[in-house]
Amino acid sequence: MDLRIRTALRTDVPKINEILNYAIENTNYNLNLNARSSEDAYAWFDSHVKEDYPVVTAVIDSQVVGWASLSHFRAYSGYDTTAEVSVYVERGFRHKGIGTMLLTELERRAKRFHMLIAVITDNNTASLSLHSRCGFIPVCTLREIAFKNKEYISITLMNKKL
């Protein structure tokens, strides 16, 4: 398996969005209720590039099989030294170390930040494990604050000081 982690390209956006939309439509790991449109995906990507928030992809034989990004944590300027982490790996490529490689690369590119935050649904044990292995510490659990697929969902906030 020839795996590379690289800066995401605008041409990767359809595949990035496909991987995200699978999680939205088939899991409770992403709490959006509706798939993200292609137009919104390009706007998301363009704003990340413009504001210098990294987006990286995992590529095997020129096929994107995962992606990760840093994003604004909150819209208040006092949070500008904190970034929220997102990591997604395509079905069939999970549990192969790709998430760890993506998260490690994001951290390498996160030098301007003081703190990274992960917001993870409690049913996403793989993501909770990944972030723990990479040095994120659980800070708190917010019980039953979201509702999707006919169930209340809790989230755990994890952070890592850089």
**Rounded to an integer, what distance in angstroms lies between the CA atom of residue 49 and that of residue 29?**
25
For residue 2, pLDDT over 90 is answered with no
Each residue of 49-60: b (16+ CB within 10 Å) or e? eeeebbbbbbbb
| Helix%, strand%, coil% for the chain, nearest 5 | 35, 35, 30
Q: Which residues make Cβ contacts (< 8 Å) with residue 89, sequence separation at least 6? A: 19, 58, 65, 66, 98, 99, 102
What kind and span of H or E run contains 141?
Answer: strand 137-148
**Rounded to an integer, what distance in angstroms lies between the CA atom of residue 102 and that of residue 55?**
10
Q: CB-based burial of residue 72 (10 Å sphere; 0-12 exposed, 13-18 middle, 19+ buried)? A: middle
Q: Which pair of structure tokens corresponds to residue 87?
A: 């990591």
Sign, Cα dihedral of 43, 45, 50, 51? positive
- Domains of the chain in start order, with CATH, are 3-114 (3.40.630.30)
**pLDDT tens digit sequence for 121-159:** 999 999 999 999 999 999 999 999 999 999 999 999 999
DSSP states of 21-78: HHHHHH-SSS--SSPPPHHHHHHHHHHHHHTT--EEEEEETTEEEEEEEEEESSSSGG
**pLDDT tens digit sequence for 31-67:** 999 999 999 999 999 999 999 999 999 999 999 999 9
**pLDDT tens digit sequence for 67-120:** 999 999 999 999 999 999 999 999 999 999 999 999 999 999 999 999 999 999
